[in-house]
Amino acid sequence: MGRLNVTLCGIELDNPIIPASGTFGFGYEFAEIYDINCLGTFSFKGTTKEPRLGNPLPRVAECASGMINSVGLQNPGVHKVISDELPKMRKCFHKPVMANISGFSVDEYAYVASALDGEPDIGWFEVNVSCPNVHKGGAVIGSDACASADVVRAVRAVTKKPVIVKLSPNVTDIVSIAKSCEDAGADGISLINTLLGMRIDKRTRRPVIANVMGGFSGPAVFPVAVRMVYQVAHAVGVPVVGMGGVSSAEDVVEMMLAGATAVGVGAANLVDPYACKNIINDLPGVLDKYKIGDIKEIIGGVKNG
């Protein structure tokens, strides 16, 4: 094992860097510009039971130190992912991949997980519990500890693969939701998803995003992400995948000190398609700078007081 290796839910990664879902597609577009097998793994595009066109345009807005998106889970549906996307992905990526799944009911989460469970390329399920639950009047599953636990139990019942739950930061008490997911059988926690944001066009006096509000991501959210990763990692007994505003190897070290076992890189991929490759290349030098021999030594290594 090298100094960058980490183990996530029983699966060894060559390094802790994971492009976040929605910023890396199914990998093959990025494989045209560099060998994506340098990655620890990646989380592929959020997948639902049925195809989704997503939200109306415009659905992306630039911000200082970040961006807002309201793509709306655009994807071809789980069966097209299996028949079309995964065969193209496996030609260029030869490691276990993280399957990000979404749904609008507990049953839909279970359906998508069950459909993907037999795919040998999938190492983990990343269960995104930040989507509206139409069976509960449009509430967000991820803001309710009981609803989140229900999803975890349903997915856990249809797979033996590790289940990592991706949490929303748009909540009052993220620790209680994380602990509820752990108690329901989650093997890991992934956070943070995007913060809810909004921009207004001052000329038209209308929201820049057609959906009015969207997910705010980028370097500006990094301190919030570090805080939440720290809180959750010190409250649960399962590994944490930390993300939110990560754009450098320095950020990776900080996120891991907060308690992350692996680190997701999201919006940075949309600014620089080589972002993850560069971070991996820079990590050894940053470890040397801080006199860190093995990256595993720093997980949760922040000192209090």
> Could you give the angle at which helices 249-258 and 275-289 cross, rounded to 10 degrees?
70
- Residue written as token pair 């939200």: 55
At 181-201, the pLDDT tens digits run: 999 999 999 999 999 999 999
Using DSSP's 3-state secondary structure scheme, residue 110 falls into: helix
- Tens-binned pLDDT, residue by residue, of the chain (305 aa): 599 999 999 999 999 999 999 999 999 999 999 999 999 999 999 999 999 999 999 999 999 899 999 998 999 999 999 999 999 999 999 999 999 999 999 999 999 999 999 999 999 999 999 765 445 544 578 899 999 999 999 999 999 999 999 999 999 999 999 999 999 999 999 999 999 999 999 999 999 999 999 999 999 999 999 999 999 999 999 999 999 999 999 999 999 999 999 999 999 999 999 999 999 999 999 999 999 999 999 999 999 85
Tokens, residue 143:
């803001």
CA distance 275 to 269: 6
pTM for this one? 0.96
Can you give the residue ranges of every domain in the chain?
6-298
Is the bond preceding residue 58 a cis peptide, omega within 30 degrees? Answer: yes
Tokens, residue 104:
């609008």
Report yes or no: 190 and 264 within 8 Å, Cβ to Cβ.
yes
Tokens, residue 136:
């509960």
- Residue written as token pair 């995003």: 209
Instruction: Give the strand pairing for 200-201 and 206-207.
Output: antiparallel
The set of catalytic residues is 131
CATH 3.40.50.150 describes domain 6-298: no
